[in-house]
Structure 1
Amino acid sequence: MPLDRTSPHLPRPAVIDSYGDGGFRLGDLSHRGAIVCLTDGVWAADLASPDHIGDEVIALVTGSTPPVEHLLIGTGTLPWPVPEPLRARLREHGIVVESMTTGPAVRTWNMLLVERRRVGAILLPIA
């Protein structure tokens, strides 16, 4: 199933209460697998590694309302340098991107969300 704004999703941003065992818990909801958290909702994403971030995910991020200014990429347990073409593509939309392992990305997402910042996160699960 393609990933876009009409895909089933949680229609609001949400603090992530916990992560691990291959998924995430957001309030009374849980999801196994990767998620894309944005200013206007949370979507499930079929991503096995950050190298699989493609056009559908980028379109979701750049189409967020209000627009995302800072994008976190939670890379699982291994660091991953953001490739320059991806960084440049996001920069064209005024988005600063930063990658880190998933634990720090979740904590940063939660903190910036509570501060009402225009943040987004692509989060890969940790087994």
Structure 2
Amino acid sequence: MTSPEPGFYPDQVGIDAYGNSGFRFAEMSHRGSLLCLPSGMQGWAVVTPADITMDSMAPIFAAADQIDVLLVGLGHDVVGFPADIRAALRERGIIVEAIGTGGAVRTYNVLLAEQRAVAAALIAVERAR
């Protein structure tokens, strides 16, 4: 039996809270940005929207056949989402919604509760809005 990698929770679960530079889920807290994938929850080394690259999105591309909708939480300020990444996700059949982190968390929880094939890439924020 192998132990899970650091910063990895092996189930996809709802998010109970966000803010204070992190997220709460499954009775645990995580500091930093977060990927919520069908394979589980894991830390994401993205701090600002400018850090979103094809490389940082690699875990999402790897799980693309299990995802219909990707919610990207861009922090507090909604900025443009890279067109090349959006096109690459669209080619894989993934609908992308790039919005503020708060809205992304709320929408992710609703779609997950509806048992939709949803994933989220969430940039941590200091304060919940």
TM-score > 0.5, shorter chain as reference: yes
Cα offsets for 1:47-96 (capped at 9, x unmatched): 11122122343221122276111111101110122221111011111111
User: Aligned equivalents of 1:71 and 1:81: distance in 2?
Assistant: 15
Distance 1:81 1:28 in 2: 33
Structure 1 residue runs of 4 or more that deviate by more than 6 Å after TM superposition = none
Name the aligned partner's letter for residue 91 of structure 1.
Answer: R
Change beyond 3 A, Cα 1:89–1:49: same
Instruction: Please show how residues 1-127 of structure 1 align to structure 2 within 5 Å.
Output: 7-8=5-6, 9-64=8-63, 67-127=66-126
Cα RMSD of the aligned pairs, angstroms, is 1.6
Number of aligned positions between the proteins: 122
Q: TM-score, normalised by structure 1?
A: 0.88
The change in CA–CA distance for 1:66 and 1:88 in structure 2 (over 3 A counts) is closer
Structure 2 unmatched ranges of 5 or more: none
Q: For structure 1, which runs of at least 5 residues remain unmatched after alignment?
A: 1-5
Task: Give the structure-2-normalised TM-score.
Answer: 0.87
Structure 1 position 27, deviation (Å): 2.1
